[in-house]
Amino acid sequence: MSQAKVPTWVNIALIPILNILLAFLVSGLVILAIGENPIEAAGYLIYGALGYNEGIGYTLYYATNLIFTGLAVSVAFKGGLFNIGGEGQAYIGGLGVGLICLSLDHTMPFYVIAPLAVIGAAVFGAAWAYIPAYLQARRGSHIVITTIMFNFIASSLMVYLIVNWLKEDGRMAPNSRTFEESAWLPYLHELFSPLGIDIGDSPLNLAFIWALLCCVFVWGLIWHTRWGYQLRTLGTNPTAARYAGIDTAKVTIWAMLISGGLAGFVGLNEIMGVNHNLLLNFTAGYGFAGIAVALMGRNHPIGIIIAAILFGALYQGGAELNFEVPTITRDIVVVIQGLVILFSGALEHMFKDRIEGFFIRRAVA
Site residues for another protein per CB under 8 A: 30, 34-35, 82, 84, 131, 135, 139-142, 144-146, 148-150, 152-153, 156-157, 159-160, 164, 288, 291-292, 295, 327-329, 331-339, 341-342, 345-350
Contact 125, 115 (CB under 8 A): no
Q: Pick the closer one to another protein by CB: 209 or 249.
A: 249
DSSP per-residue letters across 168-195: PTT--SSB-PPPPGGGSPPBHHHHHGGG
> Least Å distance between CB 216 and another protein?
27
Instruction: Tell the smallest beta-carbon distance from residue 130 to another protein (Å).
Output: 13
CB of 103 to another protein, least distance (A): 23
Q: How far is the CB of 158 from another protein (least distance, A)?
A: 9
Nearer to another protein, 93 or 318 (CB): 318
Shorter beta-carbon distance to another protein: residue 206 or 333: 333
* Choice between 101 and 154, CB closer to another protein: 154
Q: Which is nearer to another protein, 39 or 197 (CB)?
A: 39
Task: Check: CB of residue 102 under 8 Å from CB of residue 279.
Answer: no
Q: Report in angstroms the alpha-carbon separations of 305 from 279, 302, 357.
A: 27, 5, 29
Spatial CA neighbour of 232 closest among 75, 17, 32: 75
Q: Do residues 325 and 41 lie in contact, with contact meaning Cβ atoms separated by under 8 Å?
A: yes
End-to-end CA separation in angstroms for the chain: 15
Give the shortest CB-110-to-another protein separation in angstroms.
34
Please give the backbone phi and psi of residue 205, each rounded to the nearest 5 degrees, phi first: -135, -175
Tell the smallest beta-carbon distance from residue 113 to another protein (Å).
29
Minimum distance, C-beta of residue 5 to another protein, in the bound complex (Å) = 21
Q: Which is nearer to another protein, 101 or 294 (CB)?
A: 294
We find the least distance from the C-beta atom of residue 211 to another protein, in angstroms, to be 22
Residues whose CB is less than 8 angstroms from the CB of residue 203 and which lie 6 or more positions away in sequence, other chains included: 57, 58, 61, 187, 273, 274
Instruction: Please give the Cα distance from 164 to 175 (Å, whole number).
Output: 10
| 66, 84, 86 from 152: Cα distances, Å | 21, 12, 12
Q: For residue 160, with 0-12 CB atoms within 10 Å meaning exposed, 13-18 middle and 19 or more buried, which class applies?
A: exposed
Reported residue count of the chain is 365
Query: What is the four-CA torsion angle of 83, 84, 87, 93, rounded to 10 degrees?
Result: -20
* Nearest CB to another protein, comparing residues 255 and 268: 255
User: Helix 207-224 crosses helix 301-324 at what angle (to 10 degrees)?
Assistant: 150
- In the complex, least distance from residue 295 CB atom to another protein, rounded to whole angstroms: 7
Q: Closer to another protein at the Cβ: 107 or 281?
A: 281
CA separation, residue 195 to residues 58, 190, 199 (Å) = 21, 10, 11
Residue 279: beta bridge partners? 175
Cβ nearer to another protein, comparing 108 with 144: 144
